[in-house]
Amino acid sequence: MALTLEIAFWFCLAAVFYNYVGYPIVMLFLASVSQVGSDLAFLAGRTSRRQSSRLEERPAAAILISAFNEEAVIRARVENALDADPIQISEVLVGLDAPTDCTYDILSQIHSDRLRIFRFSSRRGKLAVLRDLAEQTSVEVLVLTDAETNFAPNCVQRLVRHFADPRVGVAGGELRIIEPDGRTPVEGFYWRYELILKFLENRLNCVQGAVGAVYAVRRTLFLKQKASFAEDFQLPMEIQHAGYRMVYDPEATAIESAAPTFAAEFRRRVRLGAADYQILLHNPRFLNPLKGMLTFAYVSHKVFRWLGPLFLLGALLASICLVSSRIYFWLCLCQLVFYGAAAFGYWRKSRNESAGIFSLPLYFSAMNLALLFGLMRYASGRQKMAWDVTPRSSVKIGGISNAEEVSKVNTMNER
């Protein structure tokens, strides 16, 4: 029995270590080897590796926004979208998922020939709204974003340029999370860690999903996707399994304000956690070993991450059962101290104080606890396609001007 517990402890600990430390090291090595090979091929062939940025080679695009009760941010979001790239973006489509606030009234005050508003009478969720919007346009590329996001200058152009290559089905950008005062929150450091992994995965053509706030997809491929709580992960994976490429472009940036409270961010992560487990349990084909690096990255980066709470819980319980051994006593104590530091950080946050040096254990523990709650939420069937809005403030980006109100708004009522 003791031997079984020891094996379980070290397996769980190794799984967590591999996911957060080992996998990035492996990817750094493989990406370096790939880059050397690419450089040698370039030197031998003397061919250009630069992505063409000529406007005439970029397909037409439309920006799609699904919104519920977004009166606090919707005006800034739409004006930012209209101002993103007047030449490349033929239209901006906004779908209102049966809002109960003043979102529609605010949008009605924005006048532009390129803005189309679709007001739905029943609440169905983000994906259903985006699907309906996609059917209302004939452009080749859809740029998908959220109501609380703002594009940086040239973000859309940098996303759309990749579709000059017919092999590209999805292009994802980089989302930056900031506090209202411009500072980077603790979760922003986790984002940076994830962006490093995306950069390495992009080198190896195995990017794991996009950020729903800033990505683009071919319209014909988007219309084929099935229902999912997390379309920004499900769709890119399906497209890559169908033989198309996904490109991650760190130059295509957007920003979003952090959740106003720790509790609001935690609830959002619980919902995301439930979506993660839907993906894991409903898509066994994503584990196909014949897909090579794509499957390796999926298991190493995502599956191990989603199972992380179970590994952490298993390591803690195993060490408690083995506490009579000195080494496991200290290992158990280290875990309890770490979680105690997270609890103390939470206590400070609940008093509207900075968590300080306890921020990292707090965020790590909260992220995994949210995943665990997400698993229970999904297993209980309480996850729904229509999510509640996480309240955020509008974020302005330097250099982005508001769009002029020059013409009429087209509206359509459905359902």
Element (H, E) at 363: helix 359-379
Query: What is d(CA 23, CA 143) in angstroms, rounded to the nearest whole number?
Result: 31
pLDDT of residue 387: 58
pTM (predicted TM-score) = 0.85
Whole-angstrom Cα Rg for the chain: 23
* CA nearest neighbour of 253 among 305, 198, 181: 198
Report how far residue 130's alpha carbon sits from residue 132's, in angstroms, rounded to the nearest whole number: 5
The DSSP code for 270 is H
* pLDDT < 50 positions in the chain: 398-415
What's the pLDDT score for residue 332? 97
> Strand pairing partners for 337?
none
Looking at this protein, which amino acid is placed at residue 235? Answer: L
**Residues 18, 304: contact at Cβ < 8 Å?**
yes
What was the pLDDT predicted at 406? Answer: 24
CATH number, domain 55-260+393-404, options 3.90.1300.10, 3.40.50.620, 3.90.550.10, 3.40.50.300: 3.90.550.10
| Token pair listed for 232 | 């920004």
Determine whether 297 is exposed, middle or buried from the number of CB atoms within 10 Å of its CB (0-12, 13-18, 19+). buried
Domain extents for the chain?
55-260+393-404
Q: What is the pLDDT of residue 182?
A: 55
Q: Which two tokens stand for residue 152?
A: 């940086």
b/e per residue, 341-363, with b = 16+ CB within 10 A? Answer: bbebbbebbeeeeebeebbbbbb
pLDDT at 405: 28
Q: How far apart are CA 205 and CA 195, in angstroms?
A: 15
| DSSP letters for 92-152 | EEEEEES-SSSHHHHHTT---TTEEEEEESS---HHHHHHHHHTT---SEEEEE-TTEEEP
pLDDT reported for residue 223: 79
Distance CA 390, CA 283 (A): 28
